[in-house]
Structure 1
Amino acid sequence: MSTPSPSRITFVLLAVAVCVLLALPALADSQARIVRLSDVQGSVQIDKNTGLGFEEAFINLPITQGTQLKTGDRGRAEVEFEDGSSMRLTPNTTIQFNKLGLSDDGKRISEINLVQGMAYVNWLGKDDVSLNFSHETISLNHAAHFRVDTSAQVADLAVFKGNVDVEGPSGKLAIEKKKSATFDVADNDKSNLSNKIQEAPLDSWDKEATSYHDQYAKNNNSPYGYGASDLNYYGAYQNVPGYGTMWQPYFTGVGWDPFMNGAWGFYPGYGYMFASAYPWGWMPYRYGNWMFVPNMGWMWQPGMWNSWVNVPRYTPTTLTRVTALTPPTAGTVRTVTVGRVSTTSPMMASRSVTAGSAGMGIPRGSVNNLNHLNHQVARTGSAEMRPAPQFGATPAARSQSSASRSQSSGGYAPSRGSSMPSSAGHSAPVGHTSSGGPVHH
């Protein structure tokens, strides 16, 4: 057998090196990301690529590449991205997440297909996004807020803030803020520009949801934006001696633990992921660590931002009982619930809030000051609240509810939330953590 010449060996090594270098961007682009189903109202279904097709969706279910979401006649949903950008779906809307990945330079890239229906997008501009609708594509690397509506006959795009560029069969089209465009699907997406925006029935829902995030996501010191507004609305941060910066939801009470209500979802390539049923239950179940603090109860310690987890971490304790974080039996593909899970439904004129509810059943932004209500529940064990209608109610209904709420609460001002102290993420070490295990006593 002849020995390969040095020049031939060098050529082969160079060829291999070139192939590796060419493959690097593709490998980097395929790096997976996971975003949050941050709000569910009414009938919402999810297809997680498990082979089961669509099944009922719950708040805080992770969304991975290839996932589809579908709302029913009275269904609405919201998706939050890592930087706090959001996308809201109106009734009878279907979207598919074609790509949730990272570029070779670490830039987050999202490609979404609006199959049918209407969606609102509030993009903050820190990451890149492409949105396909009809035969058109919107590509954004800057901040913009817009509405897209598509059907088999016509598609509409209305830009509330920023500028949006659209590219399709007729070429590129630039739409400035406070302007809109209509695309004739039957005529090769021929476009018609307008200097005004026709108001849609759910514009008020989108506007109020955007205001909620703007108000409660302020002073966020974590590297991520998804879930930050809910933490500030549904709970409070405080510095606890010996533990550092800790966060705790309102309305916890004796006997409550953070794992008693939720669901296990199976995702191909990821395995089982635990999704909390609480409206604030995203960041505390993906990052950081839960601890039981004597005389205070279960609290979440922010941190560990570089380690996204399928199963939430907690420090084992012998001081109280905690629900076991035990994934379903291998081979179980359908979502398995633990305790209670709920989709947000229209609120009654009044309802009782009790210790141990931890915010479940309270739509975000529906009560002016949850901290005030929390003190009442701590003193008496329960309290009556008169929540405002959900986002998107008529102005008359909102005004009437606001007046009733002002009378019942003594007219206290809306809460600005309890923002994370600047020391968040730099808490004192607290020992060994566990990501699951048996029930402890």
Structure 2
Amino acid sequence: MSVLKLSVRLALLAALACALLAVPALADSQARIVRLSDVEGTVQIDRNIGQGYEKAFLNMPITEGAKLWARDDGRAEIEFEDGSVVRITPNTKVEFTLLSLRDSGSKLSTVKIEEGTAYINFTGQKSNEFTINFARESARLTHAARFRVDLEDTDATLAVLKGDVEIEGPSGSVEVGKKQTATFDLADKDRYTVAKNFEQDPYDNWDKQQEQYHDRYLNAHSYDASMPYSYGVSDLNYYGTYYNVPGYGQCWQPYFTGVGWDPFMNGAWVWYPGFGYTWVSSYPWGWMPYRYGSWIFVPSYGWLWQPGGWNNWYTVPRVVNPPQRFTPPRPPSRGGQQTVVVGRAPSGSPGVPPRRTVMIDRGSAGLGVPRGGVRNLDKVSQAVESQGSTTVHTRPPARIAPTPPSGYSMRTQGYSGGMSTRTTSPSSHTSAPAHTSAPAPRVSTPAPRSSAPSVSHSSPPSRH
């Protein structure tokens, strides 16, 4: 072989190697997603793809530039990687104006409240920055805080229950402490008044019930401490359990699976700019098991989720050792932006009072079970395993307090800024857990299987 031909081949090989190495770099972008973790009633989403608002459903990834709109019977919750939460009530619009990642791995999140009422729980991880904007005000959070923002046409209020919040706006900076409320006069250069009390909001009980669910289930399993992310962990602990599987380590499985169930029976392919089609599971626990790790099939256990692969999140879930004749999940081959439903489509709760009883069947894998609505789900699972189905009573929904009469105000001691002479309108909220830090997730195509740490052995579930 001539020296010239050899040089040409070496150059081609070098170019090919560079191209192959470039693929993971493109896949490992600094894009972030957060989770639409609860949907009740009518909630719409604008995915920032030029199609305007459309139906939103549980487990949809929320990306930078997306908007959510809870209509007059709607409520929703959005979970961030560190466990921070934003909840919105009827007639509320929010925009996720910033979801980015620094080279250091710290996360930058900015949420704009366009109208309505939102509850915010920031867990306070030092490396992360979380900003809430409303009207011309900006609350940049640097430590743990829980608060509520009410934005109307002529005024806005921010009420703090935990921690303190500093707000910057046209009238300068103001710090609002625990159990204080700041009211901003939007018609008078955003001049503010700070009161030392606040009044109950109609949806405080609902927000409190959601927070109690996370408080109870977020750290309910010893394996949770090894999870680098917190979004979706509460649902894993409520809707399923862990097994130490020989050869695979610690794996998770939902209750009520049964023979013939597979994790891709119900869901939808949803298109996102920059990512293409992404699998969205219909199951109420269906976040982490489809974004990280692998689904594995083990005889005598069935399908289990093996945690891992925390540095990447997947648009197409990974499958390892599937049974014969199993068809792996494949995104639609045709281009376009339409949502493609598989089996039972993801949905939100209807905007009507929930049923007080629920029938649970083997093979349902938690579909139809309201989050936190049935006690001792592990024992219910045993009954379903032996009987095939069972009917259970559900917890009553949170009571929505009546709205105070128009013009009602609780006068309290306080102070004002920007030369305001207004009295204040009050508000309220609840407490929150701390969460662990994590490496930054990056979008990726499937990667080799990673193993989970080993803990005490559990027996496999019985199969009928």
TM-score, normalised with respect to structure 1: 0.81
Give the corresponding residue for 2:385: 378
Q: How far apart are 1:367 and its partner, in Å?
A: 1.0
Letter in 1 for 2:94: I
Could you say if the C-alpha distance between residues 159 and 294 of structure 1 is closer, same or farther in structure 2, counting changes exceeding 3 Å?
same
Residues 257 and 322 of structure 1 are in contact (CA less than 8 Å); yes or no, is this contact kept in structure 2? no
- Could you list the per-position Cα deviations for residues 206-265 of structure 1 after superposition, in whole angstroms to 9, with x for gaps in the alignment? 111111112111142210000011000000011122321110000111111101111111
Whole-angstrom distance in 2 between the partners of 1:389 and 1:193: 36
Identify the match of residue 298 of structure 1 among 296, 299, 303: 303
Give the corresponding residue for 1:76: 75
Whole-angstrom distance in 2 between the partners of 1:286 and 1:325: 13
Residues 264 and 273 of structure 1 are in contact (CA less than 8 Å); yes or no, is this contact kept in structure 2? yes
Give the corresponding residue for 1:64: 63
Structure 1 residue matching 2:132: 3-state secondary structure: strand
- Could you list the per-position Cα deviations for residues 356-415 of structure 1 after superposition, in whole angstroms to 9, with x for gaps in the alignment? 1111111111111110110110010001111013344579xxxxxxxxxxxxxxxxxxxx
Structure 1 residue 215 and structure 2 residue 216: aligned? yes
Could you say if the C-alpha distance between residues 105 and 329 of structure 1 is closer, same or farther in structure 2, counting changes exceeding 3 Å?
same
Whole-angstrom distance in 2 between the partners of 1:336 and 1:139: 38
Letter in 2 for 1:144: A
Letter in 1 for 2:363: G
Give the corresponding residue for 1:187: 188
- Could you list the per-position Cα deviations for residues 189-216 of structure 1 after superposition, in whole angstroms to 9, with x for gaps in the alignment? 1111111121001101111111111211
Give the corresponding residue for 1:109: 108
Give the corresponding residue for 2:334: 330
- Could you list the per-position Cα deviations for residues 11-61 of structure 1 after superposition, in whole angstroms to 9, with x for gaps in the alignment? xxxxxxxxxxxxxxxxxxx93211111111110111111111111111111
Give the structure, 1 or 2, with the largest relative contact order (CA under 8 Å, sep 6 or more): 2
What does residue range 41-440 of structure 1 map to in structure 2 within 5 Å?
41-126=40-125, 127-218=128-219, 219=222, 220=224, 221-319=226-324, 321-340=325-344, 341-345=346-350, 346-392=353-399, 425-426=452-453
Letter in 1 for 2:81: E
Structure 2 residue matching 1:32: 3-state secondary structure: coil
Whole-angstrom distance in 1 between the partners of 2:322 and 2:384: 26
Whole-angstrom distance in 2 between the partners of 1:424 and 1:313: 14
Whole-angstrom distance in 1 between the partners of 2:286 and 2:327: 16
Q: How far apart are 1:330 and its partner, in Å?
A: 3.1
Whole-angstrom distance in 1 between the partners of 2:386 and 2:77: 35
TM-score, normalised with respect to structure 2: 0.77
Residues 41 and 75 of structure 1 are in contact (CA less than 8 Å); yes or no, is this contact kept in structure 2? yes
Letter in 2 for 1:147: R
Residues 358 and 369 of structure 2 are in contact (CA less than 8 Å); yes or no, is this contact kept in structure 1? no
- Could you list the per-position Cα deviations for residues 314-359 of structure 1 after superposition, in whole angstroms to 9, with x for gaps in the alignment? 114234x545412123322022221112212342121210011111
Give the corresponding residue for 2:10: none
Give the corresponding residue for 1:403: none
Could you say if the C-alpha distance between residues 323 and 367 of structure 1 is closer, same or farther in structure 2, counting changes exceeding 3 Å?
farther
Letter in 2 for 1:123: F
Whole-angstrom distance in 2 between the partners of 1:394 and 1:34: 33
Residues 344 and 361 of structure 1 are in contact (CA less than 8 Å); yes or no, is this contact kept in structure 2? no
Whole-angstrom distance in 1 between the partners of 2:328 and 2:117: 40
Could you say if the C-alpha distance between residues 193 and 323 of structure 1 is closer, same or farther in structure 2, counting changes exceeding 3 Å?
farther
Whole-angstrom distance in 2 between the partners of 1:51 and 1:163: 38
Residues 37 and 78 of structure 1 are in contact (CA less than 8 Å); yes or no, is this contact kept in structure 2? yes
Whole-angstrom distance in 2 between the partners of 1:393 and 1:65: 32
Whole-angstrom distance in 2 between the partners of 1:393 and 1:240: 45
Whole-angstrom distance in 2 between the partners of 1:63 and 1:209: 20
Structure 2 residue matching 1:232: 3-state secondary structure: helix
The CA RMSD measured in Å over matched residues stands at: 1.9
Residues 146 and 159 of structure 1 are in contact (CA less than 8 Å); yes or no, is this contact kept in structure 2? yes
Structure 1 residue matching 2:244: 3-state secondary structure: strand
Could you say if the C-alpha distance between residues 158 and 261 of structure 1 is closer, same or farther in structure 2, counting changes exceeding 3 Å?
same
Could you say if the C-alpha distance between residues 394 and 381 of structure 1 is closer, same or farther in structure 2, counting changes exceeding 3 Å?
farther
Whole-angstrom distance in 1 between the partners of 2:367 and 2:196: 43
Residues 203 and 401 of structure 2 are in contact (CA less than 8 Å); yes or no, is this contact kept in structure 1? no
Could you say if the C-alpha distance between residues 394 and 60 of structure 1 is closer, same or farther in structure 2, counting changes exceeding 3 Å?
same
Residues 100 and 109 of structure 1 are in contact (CA less than 8 Å); yes or no, is this contact kept in structure 2? yes
- Could you list the per-position Cα deviations for residues 89-116 of structure 1 after superposition, in whole angstroms to 9, with x for gaps in the alignment? 1011111111100124221000111011
